[in-house]
Amino acid sequence: MEDFQHQLFIVIGALICFSALLRCIRFMKYIFPRVWSALPQAFFRSLGEWAVVTGAGDGLGKAYSFELARRGLNIVMISRTLEKLQRVANEIEQATGQKVKVIQADFTKRSVYESIEKELEGLEIGVLVNNVGMLHNPLPCRFLNAPDVDENLINCNIISVTKMTQIILKQMELRHKGLILNMSSGLGTFPCPLYTMYSASKAFIRTFSKALQAEYKEKGIIIQVVAPYGISTPMTMHQKPGLIVKTAEEFVSESLHYVTFGDEICGCLAHELLACFRQLVPLWVLHSDRLQEVALQAFTSYLKKRWRKS
């Protein structure tokens, strides 16, 4: 019996050490991305001539548009506000020399996809960034106290991803290459109370993306879900950047180094470390009444203090 227990403890210890080793290797990829899996300079351009970015008028969408243009792609920017799109498009063209096409579309409506598909006809699209999304409330609140925008949120956060992927994946499949980046959230990696609808919508993106990558990885198509934590954007009321909260430009520039690192990333080293720490916290702690009360009071106050004017 003692021998059995001894062997059992050895096996358990070995598994723990092996798990710790895997985590260390995972973080080494993010610390030395150019050594681990250096992307050729022409990688993104080799996928196709154009990149399509939804929610491209500001925040992460604007940052992805700029960064992909710097890497040699022409850009299709899709968003709701035409004036903002045109202004950013001019900035990109002047800064990079790449072509920029703008499409005005309100993703809270399900009627926009036929016209979007027509606008994209004839373009060789190598990259799709499904970035558009909305947050029902930037501050934590209980489900019944949240604004009644559930249908808009589902259309914007979920339907947009499936429809845009369906439109563009067809031509990627024919060419046996392409990259689809689906923006989820760290709040979608676990059932997050007080952000219930947003968390659930981002969890859908996570599951959808991973399942789709399993279907199409053998056809040369990369489908990756990006699940960041804190980014300073209009949706987050321009939280002050810091160790955890990144600017959109910082985040996008770093995250594009990791597009070959698997079907899910957090997008930057700081967020990978935060995700690792979050996984150590039992779900019953995150779901406890006490922690929810703290979030409703102290965390709300903290967020308001970190807001800054755009």
Whether residue 19 is contained in a domain is answered as: no
The more confidently predicted of residues 137 and 253 is 253
CATH number reported for the structural domain that contains residue 173 in this entry: 3.40.50.720
Whether residue 191 is contained in a domain is answered as: yes
Question: Residue 181 in contact with residue 128, Cβ under 8 Å?
Answer: yes
Query: How far, in whole angstroms, is CA 219 from its chain's centroid?
Result: 23
Question: Residue 28 in contact with residue 134, Cβ under 8 Å?
Answer: no
Whether residue 80 is contained in a domain is answered as: yes
Q: Please report which residue ranges of the chain form alpha helices under DSSP H.
A: 2-31, 33-37, 43-47, 59-70, 82-96, 113-120, 150-154, 160-175, 196-216, 248-255, 269-280, 283-286, 289-294, 300-306
**At residue 284, what are phi and psi to the nearest 5 degrees?**
-65, -25
Whether residue 35 is contained in a domain is answered as: no
Cβ neighbours of 253 (radius 10 Å):
16
pLDDT confidence band for 10 (50 / 70 / 90): low
> Tell me, what's the pLDDT at 22?
53
Percent of the chain residues topping a pLDDT of 90: 73
DSSP code at position 268: S
Distances (CA, A) of 120 to 91, 103, 180: 22, 9, 16
Reply yes or no on whether the pLDDT at 79 is more than 50. Answer: yes
- Average pLDDT, stretch 11-38? 56
> Tell me, what's the pLDDT at 77?
98
The more confidently predicted of residues 239 and 167 is 167
Task: DSSP for 99-134, please give it.
Answer: -EEEEE--TTSTTSHHHHHHHHTT--EEEEEE----
Lowest mean pLDDT of 97-101, 114-118, 222-226, 240-244, name the range: 240-244
Listed residue (291, 271, 272) closest to 193, CA to CA:
291
- Average pLDDT, stretch 80-95? 97
Mean per-residue pLDDT of the chain: 90
The more confidently predicted of residues 18 and 106 is 106
Q: Kindly give, in sequence order, each residue whose CB lies less than 8 Å from that of residue 203, ignoring residues fewer than 6 positions away.
A: 184, 188, 189, 191
Lowest mean pLDDT of 10-24, 198-212, 249-263, name the range: 10-24
What is the SS3 string spanning 158-192?
Answer: HHHHHHHHHHHHHHHHHHCCEEEEEECCHHHCCCC
* pTM, rounded to two decimals: 0.89
CA distance 294 to 289: 9
Whether residue 266 is contained in a domain is answered as: yes
DSSP code at position 285: H
Distances (CA, A) of 256 to 101, 146, 183, 248, 251: 22, 34, 13, 12, 9
Whether residue 60 is contained in a domain is answered as: yes
Whether residue 39 is contained in a domain is answered as: no
Reply yes or no on whether the pLDDT at 298 is more than 60. Answer: yes
pLDDT confidence band for 210 (50 / 70 / 90): very high
Whether residue 67 is contained in a domain is answered as: yes
Q: Residue 246 belongs to what domain range?
A: 44-306
Reply yes or no on whether the pLDDT at 309 is more than 60. Answer: no
64 is catalytic: no
List the catalytic residue out of 64, 198, 216, 258: 198
Chain segment 237-284, per-residue pLDDT in tens: 778 898 899 999 999 999 999 999 999 999 999 999 999 889 889 999
- How many domains, in total, are found in the chain? 1
